[in-house]
A and B are shown apart, each in its own frame.
Chain A
């Protein structure tokens, strides 16, 4: 369970404080699929970054299964992510020098589980997302949809309890995007992950269990 209390983030722009999030309180249950929606600049990505511990808030706290993540140091947070969190990004963010298989293995390597068993798991997941034939291809040799499927496999390979997806279909055409969403939903059920989606796509948002609306840095009830 994720609990956020009084989350506030103020950036400084041109010497002036620029509040991006103002006092966010929210809870997300285990295995829930939550969609964060709102217009550009409403603070969606910032909220996601804070919930995942990629950034620190100006004030407020986030508790994930009882762990107050901002009480952890940067490196401890990194290790926490490695164990508990998966990511899918709008622009895929695969490591370009690694093959599809090696990209999927990265989270396991970080947990010290990159051995033969890990490789098997990575291979199985790639098969699961329909890329059994493309394991040795580099990202530049894959289409956008294929890259995103590799990213999805990477996100699930360590069986994280939380999965954050930032506009996962934003750079994909409708059909490919639909496939990715279906994949996310299926894997979410299989792995029993909590999924937090940031999206512009209202159709996608409606498929979530719950929609969190943001406007101008605040929650809209």
Chain B
């Protein structure tokens, strides 16, 4: 009987509730597409792991490998493992005597690297010539930038090389790595001939090993840990790197899937509203069924089955849509992805998406559906018999608990970690609670603040918010929640983007010079145009390593209890220290005293200020000693202050800052930050500098900004895309929520019309009611969104927050327009038809 009736009734339910099920479709589409996409990415990256590295394992050092590593590598080679080497450095490269120069990334290749994957070149097969003396292969981009052609000569450092090929595609470097500058590949002996690797240069030495056997790699990693530590070598495997890459994309994916989940939950709210309307319209049918002898559970079953069926339909549509989106995402995110993605349709993901969609439809439908159980059979005879909407307390509590549990469960399931999932669910709960309270308070305040003598239309509009069975709180809640989600996503995205954007205003530096020697500073500065010369900032760099902390030599760190042991990254890294008389604009002293006020250090000990996080990781505080090695000389320092540093500012900043005059006799190179007009002016200046000082390297920050912008626009697109989902879902919820009270509103308007209210006044009353609803929702939703995005940007991302009032106002205006539009659309029958018809329908 239940399925018979459900299927018969569903035919009439479909046009009424079906459109709202589209909000479920949207959520399911978002989830299916994001999950499938994540699987596509991790599968593609895993299968390409070796190709991405060009080998199975890699050792990276910032100095040429010393005895220990060399012996290890030799023994690996002796055991039959293929070995390749890539030495990386940056240098300026130019077209011989011509003006144009560019900072390039040199890659000196030895052995058969890359061992996996193909390097695509023009002409084809040119990669095999890379080890030939006197020749280079370059990124296609470099040819364009320097107006060179194959066969031309490229000047690098003190050498000149024939360009024998252009690299179109090399699978081993991804994303921002190539943003610093185009790459130039050459044989290892040529790099020495060019003589560009010197003090302070950003050289990196990588040894690649072919060892496909997982056991071998693990063994090397554990057995030779001491050797790696001694030479600050970093050992990584292709598999681990691929995992890191997929983790990064996975994290983005999980963030996106939370937005997707939010869209789905919003859809659930929409379904809840739609079911509420539907139930209201079906009260008489239910009463008739009850008169005819259907039990409470039977009528409930009939409508629950319909909700599930419609949820299934909506989810199915969503899954199809999601699969289509899955094909689209790799195209949208092309610049972010390390490898080409082959989308594959995964049945399990689709089933899971549909299951979640149906489940969300059912749990959100449960609460309004409980009303069906409470319809008295008498209602069939008299329309004015009240339905006790509260139903059985126990059942209602159960339905609410099920809903809360489901939200919690799906949040935990979708979030990157259980903790994040709980936090997400908690944030949702807090948001709903605050929205609910704010909506309630706002509604009460509206009535309380309305002057007794306000115009009648206004009073009538306001009183509409309080009509019996009014859904004012529910509508404000649903609308406000939609606004909240869109507001938070938009605001966080905006703040992230503006924090990553390098200020393009004219006062900022756009040219970074490094490897400038002390005696070259004046000469380099002289080459800048007169107008900007005074603004060139010079900053000293003293390349240093840590050799001791708190009196313990580095070799003995292992003997320190683990909790007190300095973190290995902080010990191993090469520090580029500097000295400074004043704190920089992005720095803040958080402990100790700056030079003038700090206690004097004993003889032979210099004072140092550390960045707070690195101090934490080194397990040092005020008064502790750190021993440095700078170009072979030992420097004993005492920590006299701790600073926080805003690393996102485009300025030179340092982990360790020394007092001026204490380390300036150590081997030092200089970084210069300056400005030089537009891109042509910058190119010309770079040409002049590199001809006069071939060892100086330059980065055109404007070009980096372009690369960063490209990546950002990808992220922007992905997030904007999902915010769009949330927006459309919110719109459907709005329509559903307004439809809830449509019947009551129509009856009331018809009555007013019968009593003699003309169309304009009716429109006025409706307009006031909708404006109040949208206004309350906007105030509450936008207020909460601003608070939440402030929390996320300042606490989670630790970046500067700006509310973006313009955007908020735009969002508010949009919501108001949509609400009024939807309201007008829903009331047009009323304005078009004579009132008698409406009155009769109401009976």
B residues with a Cβ closer than 8 A to A are: 383-384, 456, 460, 463-468, 470, 748, 751-761, 834-837, 839-840, 843
Expressed in whole angstroms, the minimum distance between the Cβ of B759 and any Cβ of chain A is 5
Q: Is A18 an interface residue (CB 8 A)?
A: no
Which chain A residues border B466 with CB–CB below 8 Å? 97
Q: Considering the chains assembled together, what is the distance between the CA atoms of A93 and B843 in angstroms?
A: 10
| Residue in B closest to A45 when the chains form the complex, CB atoms | B840
Closest Cβ–Cβ distance, residue A165 to chain B (whole Å): 13
Q: List 21 A-B contacts (CB under 8 A).
A: A49-B834, A52-B754, A54-B834, A55-B835, A55-B836, A56-B834, A75-B759, A78-B758, A78-B759, A79-B756, A79-B758, A81-B755, A85-B756, A87-B754, A93-B751, A93-B839, A95-B467, A96-B468, A97-B463, A106-B752, A107-B756
**Binary contact readout A37-66 vs B (1 if CB under 8 angstroms, 0 otherwise):** 000000001000100101110000000000
Give 1 or 0 for each of A113-135: 1 = CB within 8 Å of chain B CB.
01000000000000000000000
Q: A172 contacts the other chain (Cβ, under 8 Å)? A: no
In the assembled complex, the Cα of A212 lies from the Cα of B110 at a distance in Å of: 112
Which single residue of chain B is at the shortest CB-CB distance from A99?
B463
A29 an interface residue at 8 Å Cβ cutoff?
no
Which of A54, A96, A102, A154 is close to B839, meaning CB atoms less than 8 Å apart? A54
The binding surface of chain B is classed by DSSP as helix
| Whole-angstrom distance between the Cβ of A172 and the nearest chain B Cβ | 12
In the complex, whether A185 has a CB less than 8 A from a CB of chain B is: no
Give the distance to chain B from A157, nearest Cβ to Cβ, in Å. 11
User: Are A97 and B756 interface neighbours, CB within 8 A?
Assistant: no
Considering the chains assembled together, what is the distance between the CA atoms of A75 and B757 in angstroms? 8
Of B467, B755, B834, the residue contacting A110 (CB under 8 A) is B755
Interchain CB contact under 8 A, B754 and A54: yes
Complex interface residues of chain A between 55 and 110 (CB less than 8 A to chain B): 55-56, 74-76, 78-83, 85, 87, 89, 91, 93, 95-98, 102, 106-107, 109-110
Which A residues touch B843, using CB under 8 A? 91
A87 to B755, CA, bound (A): 7
Distance in Å: Cβ of B836 to nearest Cβ of chain A: 4
Query: B843 — nearest CB in chain A belongs to which residue?
Result: A91
**Min CB distance, A118 to chain B, in Å?**
10
Find out whether the CB atom of B837 lies under 8 angstroms from the CB atom of A91: no
Q: When the two chains form their complex, are residues A74 and B757 in contact, meaning their CB atoms are under 8 A apart?
A: no
Contacts of B384 in A (CB 8 A): 91, 171
A82 touches B468 (CB 8 A): no
* Cross-chain contact B836 with A98 (CB below 8 angstroms): no
Is A140's CB within 8 Å of the partner chain B?
yes
Q: Give the one of A45, A80, A110, A138 with max B CB within 10 A.
A: A110
Q: Give, as a whole number of angstroms, the nearest-CB distance from B283 to chain A.
A: 16
Contact residues, A144-176 vs B (CB, 8 A): 154, 171
Contact of B834 among A74, A79, A89 (CB under 8 A): A74
Minimal beta-carbon separation of B379 from chain A (angstroms)? 14
B835 — nearest CB in chain A belongs to which residue?
A: A54
Determine whether the beta carbon of B467 is less than 8 Å from that of A74: no
Is the CB–CB distance between A107 and B755 below 8 Å? yes
Contacts of A74 in B (CB 8 A): 759, 834
The residue of chain B having its C-beta at the shortest distance from the C-beta of A96 within the complex is B468
Tell me if B463 and A78 are in contact (CB < 8 A).
no
Note all chain A residues with C-beta closer than 8 A to B760: 75
User: Min CB distance, B742 to chain A, in Å?
Assistant: 15
- A83, A87, A96 — which one has the most chain B CB atoms within 10 A of its CB? A96
Report B-chain residues with C-beta under 8 Å of the C-beta of A55.
834-837
Q: Would you give the shortest CB distance from B706 to chain A, in whole angstroms? A: 60
Taken together as a complex, chains A and B put the C-alpha atoms of A78 and B749 apart, in Å, by 12
A81 nearest in chain B by CB position: B756
Least CB distance, A81 to chain B, in whole angstroms: 4
Are the C-beta atoms of B467 and A96 separated by less than 8 Å?
yes
Contacts of B470 in A (CB 8 A): 97
